[in-house]
Structure 1
Amino acid sequence: MSNLKLITFDLDNTLWPVDEVIRQAEKACSLWIAENHPDAAAALSAERVRAVRTSLLKEKPEYLDNLTALRQDAMSRAFVEHGFGKDEARRIALAAFQVFHEARNRVSFFPGALEVLELLADSYVLGALTNGNADLRMIGIHDLFAFHHSAETIGRRKPAPDMFAAALRSAGVSASQAVHVGDHPLEDVHAAREHGMHTVWANLVDMDWPVELAKPSHHIHNLREIPDLVPLFDE
């Protein structure tokens, strides 16, 4: 009988590259504001939004646990500081965020991602664990996952143990029956193994491993390598 029951995946930079996705989403958001609220466009230069985000994070570091609220509130504040009333600023910010969010969920998967997920979903419980705000339903892969936990739904981002604990509870398994696959050395690999889970470092964007962390037991450069690794966690 298989010992491994649960495979959890990080999303951004694990199943798809995210940097260009965010750039395109921010561009779509800016264009929408320029076309629909040209008087508000001047309030949202990249430098201005960065400055507002920085100041919001200083006031309330827990914004890092909710990137949706951070982006919405940063736009709202930028509009208010530009002279808009609070209600109008909020209305424009929420509408602009919807444009951003739709574009943010137009992703291009890494090679092999979909076929590997479909293959693994036949034999294991799959879960998604992310600090970001990707929407699996909008992306079209929600049916492959038994659950999707995020920093927003759990209230704390990785590397805090809360999301991993929630995953084990959702699947009804122990840590030794689970493996987490992710790109981030600290937030994914180190955090999951500290919680007792098996881990796979998905180094698909050619990062260097931080010298201060113990090296990963398993790492891959292509998601198609995962099915061959899985039997190792059953032993």
Structure 2
Amino acid sequence: MARLKLITFDLDNTLWPVDAVIRQAEQTTRDWLLERDPALADTLTRASQAALRDQLMAAHPDYHHNLSALRRDTLVEGLKQAGYGEPEARRWAADAFEVFLEARQQVTLFPDVVPTLEQLAGRYQIGALTNGNASLARIGLDHLFGFQHSSESIGRGKPDAPIFLAALASAKVRADQVVHIGDHPNDDVLAARSQGFDAVWANLLEMPWPEPLPADTPTLRSFADLPALLEQLDV
């Protein structure tokens, strides 16, 4: 009898590469702002926004669990430094963040993601666990997933336990019936194992072997290989 009942996936750098997506979304947001106020070019730079994000994160570590709030509030602070009053800065930042969020969903999936998920959906429950603000609904993959939990929706992100426990509650399964697949050695693989899940390191980006991972960690390099890999784990 099959043991595994649920597969949970990380999203960024697991189902799609994300770095170029974020850079483009940031540029799209900046362009949107400069169209409305060209004078912001001198004050709302990439470097100044990065510095503000670091300052906010250092002062308020809870931003680690809400990257959307961090990005909005960074825009607010940048606009205030540019001379905008608080109410106007918040209005502009809210609108600019929606521009960012829409652009942030323009991802290109790794090869074979959709056919593989379609194949697996007939046998397993499938869920998503992410620390980011990607939206499966906006991307168009939500029909293949039973649930999506994020650090924002749960209030704590990976590697902490609550987001993994939320997956068990949503799927009504035990920890030993779950395999989690993600690209981050600690937040995905080791964290999932600490909760009693099986775990697979997603190395679609062909990264060097991460030192924290045991040498026998199951590794996914192509989504076309995932069904066979799960068969090997499902004993």
Answer yes or no: same fold by TM over 0.5: yes
Q: 5+ residue gaps in structure 2?
A: none
Residues 102-148 of structure 1 deviation map (CA, whole Å, 9 limit, x = unaligned): 11001000001111111111111100000100011110011111000
Q: Give the Å deviation of 1:169.
A: 1.1
1:131 aligns with 2:131: yes
Task: Show structure 1 runs of 5+ residues with no match.
Answer: none
Q: CA RMSD in A?
A: 1.2
What do residues 74-101 of structure 1 show as CA deviations (whole Å, max 9, x unaligned)? 0001111221100100111111111111
Amino acid at match of 1:46: R
| Number of the residue aligned with 2:25 | 25
Q: Is the 2:44–2:82 contact (alpha carbons within 8 Å) kept by the matching residues of 1?
A: no
The 1:19–1:128 alpha-carbon spacing in structure 2 relative to 1, beyond 3 Å, is: same
Q: Which residue does the alignment assign to 1:112? A: 112
Give the drift of 1:224: 1.0
Q: What letter matches 1:145 in structure 2?
A: F
1:103 alignment partner in structure 2 = 103
1:87 aligned partner, one-letter code: P
Give how far 1:29 is off.
0.5
Report the CA distance between 1:216 and its aligned residue: 4.8
- Rounded to whole Å, the distance in 2 between the matches of 1:212 and 1:142 is 32
State the AA in 2 paired with 1:196.
G
How many pairs were matched up?
235
Does the Cα contact within 8 Å between 2:72 and 2:94 map onto a contact in 1?
yes
Aligned partner of residue 42 in structure 2, secondary structure:
helix
Paired position in structure 2 for 1:202: 202
Deviations 1:26-76 (A, max 9, x none): 111011001123243433100110111111011101101100000000000
**In structure 2, C-alpha distance between the alignment counterparts of 1:188 and 1:158, rounded to whole Å:** 7
Q: Percent sequence identity over matched residues?
A: 49
Q: How does 1:175-214 map to 2 (within 5 A)?
A: 175-214=175-214
**Would you identify which runs of 4 or more consecutive aligned residues in structure 1 move more than 6 Å?**
none
The two structures have a TM-score, normalised by structure 1, of: 0.96
Matched with 1:121 is: 121
